Structures are given as structure tokens and as C-alpha cells.
Amino acid sequence: MNTWKQAPLDPTVAQFVECYWLLEINYGDNERPSPLLIPNPSCHLVITPPKTIHRYQYTDKDGSNLVQRTGSHIIMPPTRALTLLDDKQVLRLGVKFLPGAQYQLFGLEGKATVNQTFDDLPAIHPLLQSNELESLLQFKTEQHRVIEALDDYFTAIIRQTSKDRHSLLTIQALQILAQQPALGIEHTLGCSRKTLERSFAKVTGLTPKQYELMVRLDKLLLFIYQQPEGQLDWASIATQFGFSDQPHLIRMLKKTIGATPGGYLNARNLIIDIYGDFESS
């Protein structure tokens, strides 16, 4: 397995992009469970060889569903867990955007596009040319070169953007949510709850409360993922991550990822090593 993860070098790009990452798995690498992309507020650009087929499986009230995309594509923020039905040989170069960046960079309204995937990149933005992005895969071992090229790519897109009142309010809200709970932040912002939720949903596709829960879920699952084998004190973990009790924690995990805490601990199939949350090897 070959992986790396790096933040943008350009500080302007870093206002929109959290990190770039690369994952390469070859035949013969150790088998592992099908990875799971947990509900999260970030949009992801996945750059792969043009004929690569990607299958994402999710479950909703109507049962199990399969989404298939070919070549490079964008995954909008998912509010449900996505299981990646990967081939044994994988090559992906990716961009993990900061929450709301899809609205500011590409004009994609969050509420209208949440849970969707798109493989017609030029239709998203004329500068998103799949063949140009995919040409970077040949330099997969030259990390600095790839990062500089992606920085240049997004700098050109950023020059065509402007911030409207919805994105400005949402940026302020995200800064506050990093420091305090979602309840009552409209008072800090000096606006009504309805105004805040309308702008926040337009930019991110989520309510402030949904965003807060996703951030907490991400921290919780990363914590569980990093624990050694053995019996964990789930009641203590529930308290640590702000759940009223252990049953509340179990219900939330079953609803969002379809597994109990113990089941997840056994599988350890959180998508830490594919979409920007992995620790580089």
C-alpha cells in the first residue's frame, strides 16, 4: 500500500481544501474489510484512471442501493454511510474540501446535491477537466510536484469565485461551531435561527445540528478505531463524546453506520485511509 496526505502549500487554496491524498493498493496487499465512508460534511474529488469503475453501496428506508461511477468523480457530503465495493487494485488521488467549499468553488447548492455523486466534471466547472487531473497520476510518487500542480489548478478556480451573503454567514458559523455547540449560535451571529439554517443548508447541505453531530461522529469513530483489542468501557466513551448514555451511543451508531460500537471495533472499516483521515504510513 502506498499512501500520503498533505495540506495545500498555498494559503489561499487552504481556505477551501483541507488536504490532498493518495491511495494505491496493489494485488497481493493484505485483504481488508470493505471500507466505509461515514457521514461527513466534506465534499471529495476522487481522481482515478478513466476506465476505473467505482461502486458505492448505501442503505436507506427502501433497502440497499448501489451507485456506480466511472473514472474521476465528485462525492457530495453524505448523510448516510457509503460502503466502497473496491477492486483489489486501487489507485486514487483525491481532494478533501472544507465544508461548504463546493458551493463557493463550483456553485453547487448543498441542500440540492447532498448524497449525490457526479462523474461529468466539466459540467460541474469548466476548469475541472478529467484528462488533465488524471495526468497527475503518473507523478504519484512525486508528492511535492502533485501538490503544487493541484494548488495551481484550484488557484485558477478560486480567481473566478466570490463570496455571497450565504457563504459569508456560513463561514462565520463554522468558525463558531469549532468552539461551541450549535444551540444558540444565531445569537452570536446576530441573525435569526431561520436565516442561519437557510444559508447553512444552502452552502453545506446540512443544518448546524447535523454538522455538529457529524463532527462528533468522526471524532468518536477515529477514537474507537485507534483503540487496542479488548473490552472498552462504552459507558465512559458515551459520556466522553457527549451522549446521554451507552444506549444512546449504540442507537446513533446503528442509525448512521449500521453497526454497534462492538461490531465496528471488530471490523475497523472506517474510511480513515482513503478520503483524507488516514495516518500516512
* 253 inside domain: no
Q: What integer best gives the mean pLDDT of the chain?
A: 87
Q: Which domain holds residue 76?
A: 2-158
User: pLDDT class for 204, splitting at 50, 70, 90?
Assistant: very high
Highest mean predicted confidence (pLDDT) among 53-57, 119-123, 212-216, 242-246: 119-123
Q: Is residue 119 part of a domain?
A: yes
Interatomic CA distance for residues 281 and 273, integer angstroms: 10
pLDDT given at position 33: 63
User: For residue 98, what is the domain's CATH number?
Assistant: 2.60.120
| 125 inside domain | yes
Distance CA 74, CA 28 (A): 28
Q: Is the pLDDT of residue 274 over 50?
A: no
Residue 276, pLDDT > 70, answer no
- With CA atoms as reference, report the closest residue to 155 among 5, 16, 6, 1: 16
pLDDT band per the 50, 70, 90 thresholds, residue 242:
confident
Amino acid residing at 238? A
Tell me if 194 is assigned to some domain: no
Domain assignment present for 115? yes
Tell me which H or E stretch contains 67. strand 63-70
Instruction: Look at residue 261 and tell me if it is in a domain.
Output: no
Handedness of CA 167, 168, 171, 172 (dihedral sign): negative
Write down the pTM of the prediction. 0.88
Residue 240, domain member (yes or no): no
- Residue 275 in domain: no
pLDDT digits (tens, 9 = 90+) for 148-162: 999 999 999 999 999
**What is d(CA 97, CA 105) in angstroms, rounded to the nearest whole number?**
10
Q: In what order do the strands lie in the sheet with 2-6?
A: 2-6, 17-25, 90-97, 44-47, 73-75, 117-118
Q: Provide the number of structural domains found in the chain.
A: 1
The model's pLDDT over 36-53, given as tens digits with 9 standing for 90+, comes to 788 889 999 999 999 999
**CA 19 – CA 127 distance, rounded (Å):** 19
